[in-house]
Amino acid sequence: MIDTSQLTESDLSARLVPVALGGEIMSYGFARCFHEAYGVKTMVVSAVDVKVTSSSNLVDYRVVPAMGQGDDAIMDFLRKLGAELAAAGKVAIIFGSADWHARILSQNKEELSQWFAVPYNDFELLDDITQKERFYAICEELGIDYPKTWTFDCADPDVVIDAESFTYPLIAKPSNSARYDLMDFPGKEKVYEVQTPDDLLRIFDLLREAGYDRELVVQDFIPGDDDALRSLTTFSDASGDVCVVSGGRVVLQDHSPARIGNPMCILPERVDRIIEDAKRFCKHVGYRGFGNFDIKYDARDGSYKFFEINTRPGRNTYYVAQGGANIARLLVDEYILHREIPYQEAYGDTLYTCVPKKVIERHVSNPELRDKVLDMYRSGHAGYPYDNPRDTFAHKLYARVTFMHQVQKFDRFMGSGKNA
């Protein structure tokens, strides 16, 4: 394990090297925060060149083919990188932007800790609570609301689904998202909407024939548009006590099939009940570091139903920084400097958004919410993680193109009429 016992904060500007796996928006958000807190660049490692990130002066962007060649190739690369950084006297911390990154880093945490601070839970815990049936069992034990759920093992050739026995519509999704994310097959969707018994049987057969060998989770459909969804991010210390919490009401999520469910606009909103539920969950399992809970408000009974925990920083974690808690400093204080982190609720008054206001005008159907969100755009209280006036001209250009492209994308997948 890397020795940071003699390290002080004043050493970090010369020695700290954050290493982010994946070139997406989460990595850029962390790079902003590391640069703001310590004046350092973040090394971003990706199999592909994501121009909006690689063009930034906040990152040392490296296109590494091994990142797309499986676990063994990735680990070979990280061993070499870790040894190089250690030989140069650097103090490295490594994190990823996808579920499968979290699993690789957690599975190999003991070995990687020779060279990196690895801000992930031990694999036994991570693997346990990311299996949706186990997550719901813990929720049941703690009295945390969750959707009525059934699971079917895609690896069991004898499984028979009595599809006529369900009340439709339903939602279906893979239990193991990290394994599923690495698969590619025709008809793949992140989450499946199930309208009829035939739909359910078709989806089950589709996953089984594609080679998915874990459970298919089938859930009661909770009515409500995107704005019924809630995102809650927590950061916990080594004892499982939540130190920092932030979150909000999802205004709009991505509706493209490959990225459906990713929040694209989040309004800060504090809800006592879900904060307390998340605290009890983290303490009960001994969860450390960043966790991101997906939740939905159920207007039928006024409850907030917990769907899952993402055992890593979510792609929208930058809203924590917008709320006043530097997300890079949290990692460094907990995993490198081993400082006590005072409790903080990081909400603030800044809208997290990755879409232009035209998307809000066209695709948010709730008039009260739409007007509130548009007022935040007009008053300068809307923040886009890639919108950084101190970055390069090239980055600002790519950021603008990425931002404006959302108009076309939402029109394509949600219709082009106002409030389609």
- Domains of the chain by range and CATH? 9-120 (3.40.50.720), 148-220 (3.30.1490), 226-414 (3.30.470.20)
DSSP output for 202-266: HHHHHHHHHT--SEEEEEEPPP--GGGEEEEEEEE-TTS-EEEEEEEEEEEE--STTTTT-EEEE
pLDDT tier for residue 417 given thresholds of 50, 70 and 90: low
Mean pLDDT of 312-321: 96
Given a cut of 90, whether residue 191 has pLDDT beyond it is no
What are the beta bridge partners of residue 219? 149, 171
What does the pLDDT read at residue 190? 83
What is the pLDDT averaged over residues 137-156?
A: 94
Structure tokens at 175: 């239990």
Q: Would you say 21 and 48 are in contact if contact means Cβ atoms under 8 Å apart?
A: no
pLDDT per residue as tens digits for the range 3-53 = 777 888 889 999 999 999 999 999 999 999 999 999 999 999 999 999 999
Q: Is the pLDDT higher at 205 or at 418? A: 205
Average pLDDT over residues 197-211: 95
Q: What is the pLDDT of residue 181?
A: 81
Q: What does the buried/exposed string (b/e) look like for 207-222 if buried means 16 or more CB atoms within 10 Å of the residue's CB?
A: bbebebebbbbbbbeb
Q: What is the average pLDDT across 190-217?
A: 93
pLDDT bracket for residue 1 (50, 70, 90): low
| Amino acid 175: pLDDT | 86
Instruction: Return the bridge partners of 153, or none.
Output: 215
Torsion of CA 236, 242, 244, 248, to 10 degrees: 110
pLDDT of residue 257: 81
Instruction: Determine the pLDDT at residue 261.
Output: 84
Query: Tokens standing for 284?
Result: 């009960």
pLDDT in tens, 88-116: 999 999 999 999 999 999 999 999 999 99
Q: 218-234, pLDDT tens digit by residue?
A: 999 999 999 999 999 99
Residue range 61-86: average pLDDT?
Answer: 97
- What's the predicted TM-score (pTM) here? 0.91
Query: Quick one: average pLDDT of 244-249?
Result: 98
Instruction: Identify the pLDDT of residue 418.
Output: 64
pLDDT value at position 299?
96
Q: Which two tokens stand for residue 359?
A: 């998307």
Tell me the CA end-to-end span of the chain in Å, nearest whole number.
54
pLDDT grade, residue 2 (50/70/90)? confident
On the question of pLDDT at 414 being above 70, the answer is yes
Q: pLDDT (tens digit, 9 = 90+) per residue, 329-361?
A: 999 999 999 999 999 999 999 999 999 999 999
- 285-314 per-position pLDDT tens digit: 999 999 999 999 999 999 999 999 999 999
- Alpha helices (H) along 311-392: 318-322, 327-335, 357-363, 367-378
For residue 282, the surrounding DSSP H or E stretch is helix 272-285
pLDDT, position 307: 94
**Greatest CA separation found in the chain?**
65
pLDDT computed for residue 5 by the predictor: 73
pLDDT at position 368 is 97
